[in-house]
Structure 1
Amino acid sequence: MYILDDLAMDTVNQWHWNPCEFLDATKEQLKYAVIILNRPITVRRDVMASLWNRAQVRMTVDGGTKCWHEFVTAEGHASEVIDSPSPHVICGDLDSLPMEMLECYPQARVTRTPDQDETDFTKSLRVLDEYLVEKRLEVDAAVAVCDWSGRPDQVLGNVSTLLRAAGEPGAAPVFLLAESSLTWLLPAGSHVLEVPARLREGRCWCSLAPVGRPARCVSTSGLRWDLDHRELEFGKLVSTSNKFSGEPRVTVRTDSPLVWSMGLGYISD
């Protein structure tokens, strides 16, 4: 493991990320769950259809069920590209879902989670874990389809859920997939991120932001503006609007959780 001289720890966890793999339609062997949140689906249709079709578990969260139904039945699109439109699980407090919508998916399991102290997204991850245990399934990641426009409260809630999910022992990583970006949490430790050629050749944007508390020691390689034992804190330095340097990998070493976000640019073209 890497040794971070400036940290109060002797060793740190190592993580290797190749997150764009699950957007590759040829990667049939990947095991992941897809979660549709209550926002309009702006992910490109062919990408969304492939992501849904290859998922081991498919979930819609509250009003996300309506968003999914509108996506599937959108005028001018062939619904045949969706192999099985019905989610395995519909969950949430269901206050944003017309009850007649449930009749469209009679095969789906409906799990009500009325607790108002947590967001439906947070609760959906718990429902997912319970479903995986019951069905004796395993996934390597959960991909939540979201949207970053219009509702800053939901954006903040989603980031909070990333932090909470990372604190669950043995939990699979959670990714937020928006129209043309991918976001996830980098826990304290050492990270290697594989960068697809299309993204690094186009010098696509990327960013690092602390969450939960300041990160007092962050070092990177493979970015246009690398960090060398720098402190990241809201109100001070935050590494937004960064870019890839052109190297095939980015490395990040941090003593505190960071939210990593990157443009997709679009990698599947």
Structure 2
Amino acid sequence: MATNGSVSSKNFCDAGPSCADNVSEWDITWITNMEKPLKQIKYAILILNRPITQNPQFMRRLWNQASIRITVDGGTNRWDQFISSQPEAYNKGLKLPDLVTGDFDSITTEICDKYKKKGCKIVHTLDQDHTDFTKALLELIIHCNQIGVEIENVVTFAQNSGRLDQVLGNIQTLFLARDKLLIAPKIKIYLISDDSISWLLSPGEHVILISEEVRKSKRVWCSLVPIGEACERVTSTGLKWNLDHQRLKYGDLVSTSNRFDGSDKVTVNCSHTLLWSMRIPNIK
């Protein structure tokens, strides 16, 4: 656990039976396990404007079985480049984007016209007060309402390398989606970058299921990072370096480069929002 250097909170849930109804469970095995069926999972997939580095079979499985498929601005170029680089057999039966959206400052005219001619819905969002990711979530909900589809998860492919401002902008969108109620509170949003996955842990108690594949990986890592404010108290189990009512804050202590202790789950009890990230092996 990397370091850089008893406050109570009404949001902090001391472990015990009274907290049972407030526990959020996170099971991402439906995303990472290639053998796990997705028929019962209601999710949307978003492709942002970053290189697609994941395993082609991993991408095809998630893409084709999604309830809604969206490419966002230059992410349409990236998706087209990705599928064009695959063998002809790969593209047979591959579904088209349901929606192509963004302010279109990155997508090429050629690619936009190509998918328009294929029958994809094209939505131009000009608002510059929000990122294309944020606007794509708004358009996703509009589209779901129009076609009568409910989703419970959003899987977004967005590189966490390159421009730091865009990385931080993606995290900002996670906060906006939750705090401004851009989407229903029950919908979970995941960010996938290379071979890692991230999401927000809101104040309260969380259980994160850790698959055997992850537990056995030698290069696996995880982190708990406070974003925007200190997290006054954090308690965890299932980590190599657990926290016990500790304070996480930039300039003080943050939990990066942590590991798992071999348990099949991690529990996190936090007084304020944390960004949870972890490596998921074998998706590249």
Q: How many residues are aligned here?
A: 264
Match of 1:14 in 2: 23
Match of 1:213 in 2: 229
Deviates more, 1:156-165 or 1:214-223: 156-165
**1:93 counterpart = 2:95:** no
Deviates more, 1:142-151 or 1:77-86: 77-86
Deviation for aligned residue 1:252: 0.2
**1:112 counterpart = 2:114:** no
Deviation for aligned residue 1:85: 4.1
Extract unaligned runs of 5+ from structure 2. Answer: 1-6, 14-18
Q: Deviations over 1:18-59 (max 9, x none)?
A: 023123343222111000000111111111111101101000
Among 131, 143, 162, the alignment partner of 1:150 is 162
RMSD: 2.0
Structure-2 change in CA distance of 1:242 and 1:57 (3 Å): same
Match of 1:184 in 2: 199
Match of 2:138 in 1: 126
Q: Deviations over 1:207-233 (max 9, x none)?
A: 000113110010000000000001111
Q: Which amino acid aligns with 2:202?
A: P
Q: Is the 8 A contact 2:103 2:126 kept in 1?
A: yes
**1:222 counterpart = 2:238:** yes
TM-score (norm 2): 0.87
Inter-partner Cα distance in structure 2 for 1:190 and 1:78: 47
Q: Which amino acid aligns with 1:77?
A: P
Inter-partner Cα distance in structure 1 for 2:168 and 2:92: 31
Deviates more, 1:230-239 or 1:6-15: 6-15
Taking CA–CA contacts closer than 8 Å with sequence separation of 6 or more, which of the two structures ends up with the larger relative contact order? 2
Among 72, 96, 105, the alignment partner of 1:61 is 72
Aligned residues: percent identity? 37
Q: Is the 8 A contact 1:145 1:178 kept in 2?
A: yes
Inter-partner Cα distance in structure 1 for 2:45 and 2:92: 14
The alignment partner of 2:155 has SS state of strand
Q: Which amino acid aligns with 2:98?
A: H
Q: Is the 8 A contact 2:231 2:271 kept in 1?
A: yes
TM-score (norm 1): 0.92
